[in-house]
Amino acid sequence: MVRATDKQPSIIGSIDWWTIGIYLTLLIFGWISVCGASYTYGETDIFSLSSRSGMQIVWIATSLILAFVLLMLDDRYYDTFAYVFYGLMLVLLFATIFNPHEIKGSRSWLVLGPLRLQPAEFAKFATALAVAKLMSTYGFNIHQWKHFAAALGVVLLPMLLIVGQKETGSALVYLAFFLMLYREGMPGSILFTGVAMIVYFVVGIKYEDTLFWATPTSLGKFVVLLLVQLFTVGMMLSYCDDKGRTLRVGLCCVGCTLLALLFSKFVIPFDIVWVQFLICSILIGYLVFQGLATRLHSYMLIAFFAMGSILFFYSADYVLNDVMEPHQRVRINVLLGLDEDLAGAGYNVHQSEIAIGSGGLQGKGFLNGTQTKLKFVPEQDTDFIFCTVGEEEGFVGSAGVLLLFLALILRLIHLAERQPFKFGRIYGYCVLSIFLFHLFINVGMVLGLTPVIGIPLPFFSYGGSSLWGFTILLFIFMRIDAGRNFVRT
């Protein structure tokens, strides 16, 4: 039972109204953006339910009702029924794979008469609750592999089911949970490994066919193998005790690479990648030997990192050309600048950049955007809605929207850090990680900085599933935070 003492505020008084104010402001700006993106010249009633702007009002109204209900519930329900929510969402995600309704090549939508729901949007809050429940149990230690693997399993299982629905973009959102895991003590080397893999892929693919310094050496392969050596030596400095020996190993690696490069340039031209590969092999062998001799796991783990880096790099080309779908391959090539394809895969991004650029400093004004009104930008009221903000509100409006999201993220960090229980803190960091991922990827893909993976901008993109999903995600945390000072009897 929960009771409020004389020193404790009521539920209403405990709610963080700053966050709710930011939420309401985002809803208002989101509706204005949907209205601008869906408006056509000559339309007389933007509030009609036959228009997208009118339907978005319905979604906003129902979201506000949903938010009120979530705030009125006892916050202990979210902890108690976390696994129940998670199990139900897994069943729903699995059933959706066999959904006969395919929309834009995806089976992620359930069609219930005139209503269409996307279970993947609601699975986020269920997964966040489940992983928070697991990690807050007594005795959980993220540094133990079985506990860490269990947390990963909770996150990756819905991700795999969503991939089975052919909805890769929504599945990638679950990578945001790694930010929470890092906050809760996941070794930084795991996060660093993920970043390193991205660097290997981008550099290796983008510069694979570029020759380095007039030698028969691929610039992409040269840089990646050099990074493998440097990253490996850097991890040895961080995790191993013998700093002097590690520095000598690093100098030997760089020195041998430099000598091979000079020999290839001025004596006999040859592909120095083979020398680098030999250096990496010797380095891995040295690490394995040190691991066996000293019985320190750090040496073995670093050796696995180096081997995994090389295997990943040499498999990246195979994955790009033989595993990925043609449209995915084209999108990556366009993003990396290998192809332009302004009439195909690069069309959306090109048109959105034109729309944003045409807005200038102050924008063209509400309902006055030409690129969006003439429907040059596909999906301009869903995935690419930020281009409407840029065209109609200009740089000032775009910066204002980004500052609002920044205020929301910073507020969520503050709320998460003040939680008295581990469950609330972990769930809070799950929420802010998901919002941060959506914001970064959505705005990035509109500006041509990240791949086009088709995920919505929170509270802006048109649709009930997206708006309801983000509202549930946020207001469960609002209710958990509101109950932080109450005495449980």
Does 400 map to a domain? yes
pLDDT digits (tens, 9 = 90+) for 192-214: 888 888 888 888 888 888 888 88
Assess whether 171 and 238 both reside in one domain: no
Beta bridge partners of residue 2, listed in sequence order: 488
When pLDDT is cut at 50, 70 and 90, the band that residue 110 belongs to is: confident
Assess whether 38 and 160 both reside in one domain: yes
Residues 254, 228 contacting (CB under 8 angstroms): no
DSSP string computed for 270-336:
--THHHHHHHHHHHHHHHHHHHHHH--HHHHHHHHHHHHHHHHHHHHHHIIIIIS-HHHHHHHHHHT
Residues 385, 457 contacting (CB under 8 angstroms): yes
Question: What is the reported pLDDT for 109?
Answer: 77
Does 175 map to a domain? yes
Assess whether 175 and 63 both reside in one domain: yes
Question: What is the reported pLDDT for 1?
Answer: 44
Question: What is the reported pLDDT for 8?
Answer: 56
Task: Measure the CA–CA gap between 74 and 3, rounded to whole angstroms.
Answer: 11
Least confident of 118-132, 381-395, 468-482: 381-395
- Answer with the residue of higher pLDDT: 384 or 39: 384
pLDDT digits (tens, 9 = 90+) for 164-174: 887 878 888 99
pLDDT digits (tens, 9 = 90+) for 395-412: 999 999 999 999 999 999
Assess whether 53 and 119 both reside in one domain: yes
Q: Is the dihedral of CA 369, 370, 371, 373 positive or negative?
A: positive
DSSP state of 8: S
Assess whether 39 and 169 both reside in one domain: yes
Averaged over 64-73, what is the pLDDT? 94
Assess whether 25 and 170 both reside in one domain: yes
Reported residue count of the chain is 489
43: left (phi over 0), alpha (psi -120 to 50) or beta: beta
When pLDDT is cut at 50, 70 and 90, the band that residue 436 belongs to is: very high
Assess whether 394 and 456 both reside in one domain: yes
Is 193 buried (19+), middle (13-18) or exposed (0-12) by CB count in 10 A?
middle
Task: Measure the CA–CA gap between 424 and 478, rounded to whole angstroms.
Answer: 10
Does 363 map to a domain? no
Question: What is the chain's mean pLDDT, rounded?
Answer: 86
Assess whether 173 and 264 both reside in one domain: no
Residues 182, 430 contacting (CB under 8 angstroms): no
Of the residues 280, 308, 324, the one at which a domain ends:
324
Q: How many CB atoms lie within 10 A of CB 375?
A: 12
Question: What is the reported pLDDT for 136?
Answer: 93
Among residues 419, 427, 416, the alpha carbon closest in space to that of 134 is found at: 427
Assess whether 320 and 453 both reside in one domain: no
Question: What is the reported pLDDT for 4?
Answer: 45
- In our burial notation (b when 16+ CB lie closer than 10 A, e otherwise), range 409-436 reads bebbeebbeebeeebbbbbbbbbbbbbb
Does 394 map to a domain? yes
Residues 450, 103 contacting (CB under 8 angstroms): no
DSSP state of 139: T
When pLDDT is cut at 50, 70 and 90, the band that residue 114 belongs to is: low
Task: Measure the CA–CA gap between 74 and 307, rounded to whole angstroms.
Answer: 50
Strand, helix or coil for residue 374: coil
Assess whether 40 and 176 both reside in one domain: yes
CA 374 centroid distance within chain: 31
Question: What is the reported pLDDT for 477?
Answer: 96
Please check the confidence at residue 378 and state whether its pLDDT lies above 70.
Answer: yes
To the question of pTM greater than 0.75 for the whole model, the response is yes
Q: Which of 18-32, 89-103, 196-210, 286-300 is the most confident on average? A: 18-32
Least confident of 80-84, 157-161, 312-316, 400-404: 312-316
Of all residues in the chain, the percent with pLDDT exceeding 90 is 45
Q: Which domain holds residue 300?
A: 227-324
Among residues 421, 411, 424, the alpha carbon closest in space to that of 480 is found at: 424
Beta bridge partners of residue 116, listed in sequence order: 111
Is 374 buried (19+), middle (13-18) or exposed (0-12) by CB count in 10 A?
exposed
Least confident of 90-94, 135-139, 350-354: 350-354
Assess whether 182 and 231 both reside in one domain: no
Beta bridge partners of residue 117, listed in sequence order: 110
Averaged over 298-323, what is the pLDDT? 84
Averaged over 428-450, what is the pLDDT? 91
Question: What is the reported pLDDT for 452?
Answer: 77
Helix 145-164 with 82-97: angle, nearest 10 deg:
40
Least confident of 52-56, 413-417, 450-454: 450-454
Does 169 map to a domain? yes
Residue with tokens 């340039």: 265
Q: Count of domains in the chain? A: 2
Question: What is the reported pLDDT for 5?
Answer: 47
Please check the confidence at residue 98 and state whether its pLDDT lies above 60.
Answer: yes
Question: What ranges in 110-144 are assigned the alpha helix state H?
Answer: 119-135
Residues 335, 450 contacting (CB under 8 angstroms): yes
And the tokens for 412? 């969520």
Does 377 map to a domain? no
Does 301 map to a domain? yes
| Cβ neighbours of residue 148 closer than 8 Å, sequence gap 6 or more | 142, 181, 186
Task: Measure the CA–CA gap between 157 and 174, rounded to whole angstroms.
Answer: 10
Does 362 map to a domain? no
Task: Measure the CA–CA gap between 91 and 465, rounded to whole angstroms.
Answer: 18
Assess whether 92 and 39 both reside in one domain: yes
